[in-house]
Amino acid sequence: MKPLTEQELHNLAMNIVGEKLQLMGYEFLAVNSKLKRHPQFVLYKKGERTVFVLVKATSNLHEPNSYDTIWMETFKAHAIKNNARVWYAGVGIANAESVEMPVFKDKPYYVAFEDFERILD
């Protein structure tokens, strides 16, 4: 069994978040799935301002929404210049057998993602 790479975990988190955004009725203007490239999603919905969504996969199921606040201030400034809102999606992903083990391809895993943290709305 081969554990998922950091990029594969990120892609899994992107898929989880992307499905929720589609259910919320958003259209994707841009999608960037490369690690450490932000935002991951640029969204459009008629009558609303653009939304930048930042996605982070983490093994922390209890607090998946933790992020670097100093870096977030820099990103908020970028969003303000673009008249955009900023949502953060921390997605906790862990092995279903033991959170101490890595997540493996084609094996059960837990997901901790309820909703978006609205950083700038």
Domain total of the chain: 1
Question: Residue 86: phi, psi to the nearest 5?
Answer: -125, 125
pLDDT, tens digit (0-9, with 9 covering 90-100), for 69-115: 999 999 999 999 999 999 999 999 999 999 999 999 999 999 999 99
The torsion of the CA quartet 89, 94, 96, 99, rounded to 10 degrees, works out to -140
pLDDT, tens digit (0-9, with 9 covering 90-100), for 16-60: 999 999 999 999 999 999 998 899 999 999 999 999 999 999 998
- Percent of the chain exceeding pLDDT 70 equals 100
Look at residue 64 and tell me if it is in a domain.
Answer: yes
pTM of the model: 0.94
Q: What is the CATH number of the domain that holds 34?
A: 3.40.1350.10
Question: Residue 69: phi, psi to the nearest 5?
Answer: -65, -35
Domain range for residue 42?
6-108
